[in-house]
Amino acid sequence: MDIKQTITNSIIDMLEQGSLENRPLWNQALATGLPRNGTTGLTYSGVNILILWNCAVQKSYSSNVWLTYKQAAELGGHVRAGEKSVMCVYFDMVKAKDQRADDEESFYPMCKPFWLFNVAQIDQLPPALYSVPRPDSFHPIDEAEQVLANSNAAIHHGYEKACYVPVKDQIFLPYREAFTCPETYYATALHELTHWTGHQDRLNRDFNHRFGSDGYAFEELIAEIGSAFVCAHLGFVDATLADHASYLGSWIKVLKNDKNAIFTASRQASLAADFILKKAKQNSCCERAA
């Protein structure tokens, strides 16, 4: 089985089924936040977020908590007969074969699968695992304001369109009142802030050499996924960007041409989201210390 191609096909199917103009798939997925493991409490990252969001939407799961079969059994749970797991992936460093005795050992990353069940598929788990997580005590939009402010990015309002200008290293946005709802404003701002993380002095992200004329669309895909990851962390949905539907065809083209693209985009989006949230946390701690 070609694991990368299988997963890429599932993401393409999600994009082709979901209207980015109405965004039913993203809205349902973001409503429960980032997928997390019920035993460790850790959130999944990269392409696994998209895989689990897609599965949760398709199966109408209301929870974002997942377990392996073994973890469920260790907690006293029983996966119901007939329930199917969802395949996720991790990368393991594997020693290269056919190395000469006098050569330095070399390793390469190999994509390997593992399988998860949603708690909705498992009976007799501890009751706490079945509760749908809610946003924390911070009002989601208030927390979003803090994320933007603590990034220390140069953000200017009063412009006709939203954009990030790399040569100026500045973000330009319309006035807040120009957006249809607060969630849309914050999703737009976080989309541009994800672009901002790609600057050479931050994550140094440039895929034009790999995707050529599709490099711009690929960066937009990273920004869309990165914004979605942060929005999910903050706990708000209905974060629709009106012009994203125009990128749908380009995104699907990139994914169909390169089975590794969704892995790269998801990983870069996770790095960007982590960068944004880490800065928000660090600067909040500094403010409290002062």
Tell me the whole-structure pTM to 2 decimals.
Answer: 0.76
pLDDT tens digits for range 64-76: 899 999 999 999 9
pLDDT tens digits for range 258-283: 899 999 999 999 999 999 999 998 87
pLDDT tens digits for range 86-105: 999 998 877 777 666 666 67
Residue 241 has pLDDT above 70, yes or no: no
pLDDT tens digits for range 28-50: 667 678 999 999 999 999 999 99
pLDDT computed for residue 128 by the predictor: 87
Which is higher by pLDDT, 67 or 141?
67
Strands (E), the chain: 36-37, 65-67, 78-79, 86-95, 107-118, 122-123, 154-157, 163-165, 170-173
Percent of the chain with pLDDT over 90: 42
Q: H or E segment at 8? A: helix 3-17
pLDDT computed for residue 56 by the predictor: 86
DSSP 44: P
Which position has the token pair 């701690």? 285
